[in-house]
Structure 1
Amino acid sequence: MKLVKKIVYTGSILLKTGLHIGGTNAALNIGGPDKFVVRNPINNIPYIPGSSLKGKIRSLVEIANGESNAGKPSNNPKSKAGALFGTAGDNNAKHPSRLIVRDAELDITSCNFENTDLPYTESKTEVCIDRITANANPRTFERVPAGATFKLNMVLNIFEGENEDELKDTLKRAIKFLENDYLGGHGSRGYGQVKIQFDNENGEEHVY
């Protein structure tokens, strides 16, 4: 199968509410958050893993098109989600992903992080109330604050004989689904509302 072109989408992910994508709580931090965000271990800057972003928009496409397989990814390569995000399984079901989603780096110039209580992040304390005993159980989450932006970079591969318009339309719809849902954890409690801003809505094409 011949590769016809690569369409590169660049832009930003603007946080409209605080974002928590969990990292590894490798060390006990007395007095610190109970749940940490994922950070680059080299420079300690938070980022959005490409796997988190890709997995979220795939699940939204599957739900919107009725393609969810009991909560698992659909293995039908002819489905909208399967055509764009790929499928696994036996030889008849295997279909490599057409979409590459890069890790999104935090733009440290996007807002003033000097007043945050943690490097580039805030700590948010919530209280869980036992409905029987009324006992309070406080817990603290680390979040990247609202107003921060991450650098978005995705690549859509188009092969000979494929429906380019359908793949592009599925991706654009996926982004709209995400903006009306949430990214990361605890979205039902207000976390993770985002706005996607493309440098060029149609992407930059590289023809082969």
Structure 2
Amino acid sequence: MYGKLIIEGELEALTGLHIGAGPSLGPTAADLPVVRDHQGRPYVPGSSLKGKWRTLLARALAQRWVVNDPGHDAEEVIRLFGAPAIEGQAARPGRLIVCDAPLLASPGDFLATEIKQEVAIDRATAEAQVRSLERVVPGSRFALRIIYTAGEAAEAGADLQNLAGAMELLTMDSLGGHGSRGSGRVAFRDMKVRLGYGDAFDDRDLAFLNNEVFRDDALNL
């Protein structure tokens, strides 16, 4: 069995979203700017999505908050996301490709961001320390594209159920930084699954994936 599925849709920021580019090294509007593409538009790196999905799925399968290093994740996690070389075992590639998600539309201006001022109070001195955080404005939408490579027929269904589960878990968590302070709540809209290559999935399989697995009501919590 061999085939590729293309899973596409939109990621919407429900609250301000901060995926950082690191501390500012030059004159910018914020101490902590967001990551941007070569045209200056904010985007969501595929690595940010993939890393968060992996962590959430690993925690769910292990039934605990603190999980092992990626080389010791559950087999279901490794199948999707891969594993580094450890203890004499070769590195294992994952079955998912998560593309960078470019900005589709924003209720803001071209920059599509806002500046959030944060204040920390030193408990000993009561001195205020102010810093500015750049966030993508709520309502901004990004184009999501995921490619899944099917190998074993018996595992493909479980893999895709786990991917959808990780996406659903993210709607109850946060993406990027400062999630405990209100940033990073997201939803997935209009997810569609189509066959990209091969005959690993027939029309009935695709209908099940579209109507039952990647359902809007489960991915928009």
TM-score band w.r.t. shorter chain: 0.7 to 0.9
Indicate yes or no: 2:124 matched with 1:128.
Answer: no
Structure 1 residues 124-178: Cα deviation after superposition (integer angstroms, max 9, x where no partner): 0010011121111011000001110111000010014551110011101000111
- How much has 1:28 moved relative to structure 2? 2.1
> In the aligned structure 2, how far is the partner of 1:46 from the partner of 1:111?
10
| Displacement over 6 Å in runs of 4+ | none
> In the aligned structure 2, how far is the partner of 1:162 from the partner of 1:96?
18
Note the residue ranges of structure 2 that are not aligned, 5 or more in a row: 199-221
Give the total of aligned pairs. 196
Q: Using a 3 Å threshold, how does the CA distance of structure 1 residues 183 and 133 change in structure 2: closer, same or farther?
A: same
> In the aligned structure 2, how far is the partner of 1:22 from the partner of 1:43?
17
> In the aligned structure 1, how far is the partner of 2:99 from the partner of 2:197?
20
- How much has 1:29 moved relative to structure 2? 1.3
Partner residue, 1:57: 53
- How much has 1:11 moved relative to structure 2? 0.5
Partner residue, 2:20: 22
TM-score normalized by structure 2?
0.81
Output the amino acid matched with 2:4.
K
- How much has 1:197 moved relative to structure 2? 1.4
Note the residue ranges of structure 1 that are not aligned, 5 or more in a row: none
2:58 match: secondary structure: helix
- How much has 1:94 moved relative to structure 2? 3.2
Output the amino acid matched with 1:65.
L
- Over the aligned positions, Cα root-mean-square deviation in angstroms equals 2.1
Match of residue 107, structure 2, among 112, 124, 141: 112
> In the aligned structure 2, how far is the partner of 1:67 from the partner of 1:95?
24
Kept in 2, the 8 Å contact 1:18–1:143? The answer is yes
Output the amino acid matched with 2:107.
N
Partner residue, 2:43: 47
> In the aligned structure 2, how far is the partner of 1:162 from the partner of 1:155?
18
> In the aligned structure 1, how far is the partner of 2:190 from the partner of 2:195?
14
